[in-house]
């Protein structure tokens, strides 16, 4: 006997259980589980994923499979007291796919296998001389079999069905009588023969084998391959095949079919939720042929089945310890369970149900934490549109910062500020934003850009503020001078109202009504979880408290203002992981910065720096006060230089116009010459970060002094300040050493005996820094991974361009399942982080490690940062709760307390 012949490829339902999903697929494992619970499941068997894998590898059924199917079929026939396709009293079976992971609608199903020209008569007899039912079942088999097994174009069958209805003068399938359906079977058979070159197979076992093979092959259908790539489902799992005795819900008014949930999958509320359709089969429910009735109606129609169903649902919930969804059929008053699984649910229901199950003693808090996730929490934190009425999106962009916002369109920052001051809601619409738009962004309810991705300026800043933003809506043509934009034939002028959904990226004309988030009110401290009867808030509070108790990673925030810092603290931040100081050089201070950059003499530069120093110091005082002794990582200035200079083209035009008019433009000409000199083709790879600090004397020194003086001032006032100075864009240890030497001198001088301690560390955001982390750690007291730049430079993807430009195609092709700017690319960029963490800590044991790129608030990335042993993640204030939750989940997953 060869090894293959001993492989077991077929399992009776009585042999499996719910934990065998790898082998039996989700559907098969759960059918087995229900069978073993003694629930009324039609008898059947499951062909394993291993058989499918073997078939796909060799192109033929593995040895032994045919014999095992034969044996299980015989057992099934014995159990049913009928033979497959028997002319007098046929057993019919369904052949259904069922993979390890649910792949809705991706693979095939064939019903009514076993029907042929002779057994159709036997079926009619079985059904009490119901010819109509029998011929309808037969035509369904030819249609499904033709389409899925033999690739006959489905439209041809649809067309023939429509023809039959037209001939009868009706739109309703139910008006076709037995003779009409018999005629339709003949037509279907002709269609089948025309496309396949053979007659419709009459041999039941041949039908069964071909249907099984078709399900195997559907694993590699193009749509299934694409779906797997996108969902990151491994390509080699294969699908199981379930062969199940048919039961019929369409045998008359005492039959029917339905779906049900053991709790409300929308809100999590306890109760019975479902739909029922009398005298129908499952696919009729999906096709919407007739309207379903609420499941409660079944109590009136068939009380015995209803009571039995309720009893089964309670048992299933207790058994799976979770919300279950089920499919059932009633055949002439007898209830059959066709499927169950742990049901999908909304974000709110996930929290509420997890909390309820803890109360009911069915699961513990670790398990509750495991069953919710950060993406769900994030969804619950944004105001939502109430899209009950029909609103049609006019443009689709990138959901860059979630939320829902409506307001009057404005095209400049100044106008946004003006209208907001009048108490109006505004949406700032720009081609792309830049630091000059900051005031407008603060004033606006939401931001809409026609260019840029998820890490564009608009997106990052909006997320930082928790403000709704749709970026890269490239269907929109923005015309700022004309104060209007056009989109798909509509023209929207300043003052017109639009609504933007920062979660879906959709843009609507007019005002869509919005509901605020109660979960944010809880985090803000305005809704007391002990007093509210809001089940969601209570559940969120309970699970968050547990996540905090479990997590190892600390969670800090990215904040540049006292107000952001204060909000982040309310949301649970344990410090600031990134204070971007370039944002402090805008507005009124911009002119000083321009003077500094363009200074022709030392004196001019020193003057500009001296004017900036007290302003910076005050910025830091506010932040240190707000953070009250928690660590604050202040990053020395890191703008691409062009952000601080007037735009070259505009300046050139102004100068040309002024010259034309004969005006004195000596000063403007000098400015233009300087801007030209400093113009860069690739500003993101140019004079920024530490490079700027090394090129402009005194700039970093001024900032270091401001930080140290602010810390001393706060301490002298009786507070505590823990500043950590961070040097951006370091690629070589020598850069860091140079900055550090100067900084240490200033710190020593300012701090004196005040007791203030200032750490000096670096960002790791240039691949070279990650690869020389051992050297860099000698000069750094901490590392913070700047994963935005590390992704940009690791992949060579311009962070402001690529997401809007071509990522859609990469996602479609499955090159990646999610943008690497959104979720850390573990294999590439993640590897750089791993190397840097290991080599950094080898060189300096106990080196503090954090991350402050956008990934710090991404659920999956948080798990990665936990795994590589970072000390903290830092993210925008609104992401802080998400990071806390995911850090807790990461901790329980690695300690193995996952009980499922
Ligand atoms: C980063 O690059 O990840 C980072 C945090 O810095 P910035 O986004 O300001 O370049
Ligand atoms: Mg960076």
Convert the pLDDT of each residue in 606-644 to its tens digit.
999 999 999 999 999 999 999 999 999 999 999 877 777
Task: Give the active site residues.
Answer: 457, 852
The ligand 1 atom at the shortest distance from the C-alpha of residue 786 is 3
Residue 85 has pLDDT above 60, yes or no: yes
- Most confident by average pLDDT, 217-231, 487-501, 671-685: 487-501
Q: How far is CA 432 from CA 49, 476, 664, in A?
A: 50, 12, 33
Cα 854 to middle of ligand 1, angstroms: 8
What does the alpha-carbon distance between residue 27 and residue 241 come to, in Å, rounded to a whole number? Answer: 9
What does the alpha-carbon distance between residue 883 and residue 631 come to, in Å, rounded to a whole number? Answer: 18
pLDDT tens digits along 770-808: 999 999 999 999 999 999 999 999 999 998 788 767 877
Pocket, ligand 1, Cβ cutoff 6 A: 578, 580, 638, 765, 786-789, 852-853
The ligand placed nearest to the CA atom of residue 460 is 1
Cα 728 to middle of ligand 1, angstroms: 8
What does the alpha-carbon distance between residue 881 and residue 893 come to, in Å, rounded to a whole number? Answer: 18
Three-state DSSP at 512 gives coil
The ligand 1 atom at the shortest distance from the C-alpha of residue 852 is 5
The Cβ-side half-sphere exposure at 311, using a 13 Å CA radius, reads 11
- The predicted structure's pLDDT at residue 249: 93
The ligand 1 atom at the shortest distance from the C-alpha of residue 765 is 2
Give me the mean pLDDT over the 305-333 stretch.
95
The ligand 1 atom at the shortest distance from the C-alpha of residue 558 is 5
Cα 843 to middle of ligand 2, angstroms: 24
Which of 785, 788, 793 to mutate to test ligand 1, by most ligand atoms within 8 A of the CB atom?
Answer: 788
The answer to whether 35 and 18 are in contact (CB under 8 A) is no
Residue 470 has pLDDT above 80, yes or no: yes
What does the alpha-carbon distance between residue 617 and residue 598 come to, in Å, rounded to a whole number? Answer: 23
Q: Which of 277-291, 315-329, 602-616 has the lowest mean pLDDT?
A: 277-291
Residue 29 has pLDDT above 90, yes or no: yes
* CA 278 to chain centroid: 38
Residue 884 has pLDDT above 50, yes or no: yes
The ligand 1 atom at the shortest distance from the C-alpha of residue 582 is 9
Give me the mean pLDDT over the 126-137 stretch.
93
The ligand placed nearest to the CA atom of residue 791 is 1
Which of 638, 639, 641 to mutate to test ligand 1, by most ligand atoms within 8 A of the CB atom?
Answer: 638
What does the alpha-carbon distance between residue 106 and residue 87 come to, in Å, rounded to a whole number? Answer: 34
The ligand placed nearest to the CA atom of residue 730 is 2
Place of tokens 């015309």: 479
Give me the mean pLDDT over the 366-379 stretch.
94
The answer to whether 836 and 844 are in contact (CB under 8 A) is no
What does the alpha-carbon distance between residue 896 and residue 300 come to, in Å, rounded to a whole number? Answer: 48
The Cβ-side half-sphere exposure at 131, using a 13 Å CA radius, reads 9
The ligand placed nearest to the CA atom of residue 853 is 1
* CA 879 to chain centroid: 14
Nearest CA to ligand 1 atom 6: 786
Residue count of the chain, please give it.
Answer: 900
Cα 820 to middle of ligand 1, angstroms: 14
The burial class, CB within 10 Å (0-12 / 13-18 / 19+), for 253 is exposed
Residue 2 has pLDDT above 50, yes or no: no
Place of tokens 């052949």: 95
Model pTM score: 0.80
* Protein residues near ligand 2, an ion, with CB under 5 A: 765, 786, 789
| CB environment 97-133: b (16+ within 10 A), e (fewer) | bbbbeebeebbbbbbbbbbbeebbbbbbebbeebbbb
**Percent of the chain predicted with pLDDT > 70:** 96
Beta strands 848-851 and 782-785 are parallel
Give me the mean pLDDT over the 547-557 stretch.
98
- The predicted structure's pLDDT at residue 897: 37
Give me the mean pLDDT over the 352-357 stretch.
95
Cα 799 to middle of ligand 2, angstroms: 10
Cα 585 to middle of ligand 1, angstroms: 17
DSSP-H helix ranges across 197-302: 204-218, 222-231, 282-287, 297-301
Helix (H) or strand (E) holding 841: helix 829-843
């Amino acid at each position: 006997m060869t090894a293959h012949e001993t492989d077991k490829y077929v399992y009776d339902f009585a042999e499996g259980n719910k934990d065998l999903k790898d082998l039996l697929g989700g559907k098969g494992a759960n059918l087995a589980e229900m069978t073993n619970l003694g629930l009324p499941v039609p008898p059947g068997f499951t062909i394993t994923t291993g058989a499918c894998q073997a078939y796909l590898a060799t192109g033929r059924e593995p040895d032994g499979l045919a014999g095992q199917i034969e044996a299980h079929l015989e057992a099934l026939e014995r159990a049913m007291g009928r033979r497959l396709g028997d002319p007098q009293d046929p057993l019919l079976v369904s052949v259904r796919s069922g993979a390890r992971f649910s792949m809705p609608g991706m693979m095939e199903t064939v019903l009514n296998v076993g029907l042929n020209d002779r057994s159709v008569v036997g079926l009619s007899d079985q059904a009490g001389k119901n010819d109509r039912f029998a011929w309808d079942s037969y035509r369904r088999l030819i249609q499904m079999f033709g389409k899925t097994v033999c690739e006959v174009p489905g439209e041809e069958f649809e067309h023939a069905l429509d023809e039959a209805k037209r001939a009868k003068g009706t739109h309703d399938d139910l008006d076709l009588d037995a003779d009409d359906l018999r005629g339709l079977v003949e037509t279907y058979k002709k269609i089948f023969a025309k496309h396949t070159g053979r007659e419709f197979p009459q041999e039941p076992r041949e039908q069964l084998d071909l249907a099984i093979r078709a399900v195997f092959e559907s694993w590699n259908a193009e749509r299934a391959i694409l779906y797997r790539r996108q969902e990151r489902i491994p390509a080699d799992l294969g699908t199981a095949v379930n062969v199940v005795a048919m039961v019929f819900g369409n045998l008359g008014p005492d039959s029917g079919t339905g779906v049900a949930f053991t709790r409300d999958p929308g809100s999590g509320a306890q109760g019975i939720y479902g739909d029922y359709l009398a005298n129908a089969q499952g696919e009729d429910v999906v096709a919407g042929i007739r309207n379903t009735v609420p499941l409660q109606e079944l109590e009136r129609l068939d009380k015995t089945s209803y009571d039995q169903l309720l009893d089964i649902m309670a048992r299933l919930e207790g058994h799976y310890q979770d919300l279950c969804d089920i499919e059932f059929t009633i055949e002439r008053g007898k209830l059959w369970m066709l499927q169950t699984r742990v049901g999908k649910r909304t974000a709110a229901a996930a929290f509420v149900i997890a909390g309820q199950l803890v109360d009911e003693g069915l699961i513990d808090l670790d398990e509750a934490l495991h069953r919710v996730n950060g993406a769900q929490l994030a969804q619950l934190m944004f105001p939502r549109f109430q899209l009950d009425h029909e609103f049609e999106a006019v443009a689709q962009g990138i959901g860059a910062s979630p939320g829902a916002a409506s307001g009057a369109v404005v095209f400049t920052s100044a106008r946004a500020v003006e209208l907001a001051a009048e108490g109006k809601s505004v949406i700032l619409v720009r081609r792309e934003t830049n630091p000059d738009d900051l005031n407008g962004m603060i004033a606006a309810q939401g931001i809409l850009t026609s260019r840029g991705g998820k890490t564009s300026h608009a997106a990052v800043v909006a997320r930082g503020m928790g403000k709704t933003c749709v970026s890269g809506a490239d269907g929109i043509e923005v015309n700022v001078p004309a104060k209007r934009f056009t989109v798909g034939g509509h023209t929207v002028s300043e003052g017109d109202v639009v609504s933007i959904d920062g979660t879906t990226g959709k843009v609507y004309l007019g005002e869509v009504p919005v509901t605020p988030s109660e979960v944010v009110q809880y985090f803000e401290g305005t809704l007391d979880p002990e007093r509210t009867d809001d089940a969601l808030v209570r559940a969120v509070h309970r699970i968050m408290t547990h996540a905090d108790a479990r997590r190892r990673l600390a969670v800090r925030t990215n904040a540049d203002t006292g107000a952001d810092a204060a909000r982040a603290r309310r949301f649970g931040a344990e410090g600031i992981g990134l204070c971007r100081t370039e944002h402090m050089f805008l507005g009124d201070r911009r002119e000083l910065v321009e003077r500094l950059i363009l200074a022709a003499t030392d004196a001019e530069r020193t003057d500009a720096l001296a004017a900036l120093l007290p302003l910076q110091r005050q910025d830091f005082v506010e932040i240190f006060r707000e953070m009250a002794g928690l660590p604050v990582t202040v990053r020395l200035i890191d703008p691409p230089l062009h952000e601080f200079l007037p735009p070259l083209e505009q300046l050139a035009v102004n100068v040309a116009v002024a010259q034309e008019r004969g005006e004195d433009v000596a000063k403007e000409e000098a400015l233009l010459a300087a801007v030209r000199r400093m113009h860069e083709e690739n500003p993101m790879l140019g004079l920024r970060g530490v490079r700027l600090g090394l090129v402009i004397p005194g700039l970093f020194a001024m900032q270091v002094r401001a930080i140290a003086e602010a810390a001393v001032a706060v301490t002298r006032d009786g507070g505590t300040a823990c500043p950590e100075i961070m040097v951006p864009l370091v690629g070589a240890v020598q850069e860091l050493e140079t900055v550090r030497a100067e900084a240490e001198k200033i710190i020593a001088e300012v701090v004196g005996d005040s007791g203030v301690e200032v750490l000096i560390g670096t960002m790791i955001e240039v691949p070279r820094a990650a690869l020389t982390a051992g050297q860099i750690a000698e000069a750094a007291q901490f590392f913070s991974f700047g994963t935005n730049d590390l992704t940009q430079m690791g992949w060579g993807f311009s962070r402001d361009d690529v997401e809007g430009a071509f990522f859609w195609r990469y996602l479609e092709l499955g090159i990646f399942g999610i943008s690497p700017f959104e979720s850390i690319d573990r294999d590439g960029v993640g590897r750089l982080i791993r190397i840097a963490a290991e080599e950094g800590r080898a060189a300096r044991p106990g080196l503090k490690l954090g991350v402050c790129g956008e990934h710090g608030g991404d659920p999956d990335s948080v798990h990665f940062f936990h795994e590589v042993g970072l000390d903290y993640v830092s993210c925008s204030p609104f992401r802080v709760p998400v990071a806390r939750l995911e850090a807790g989940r990461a901790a329980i997953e690695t300690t193995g307390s996952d009980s499922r």
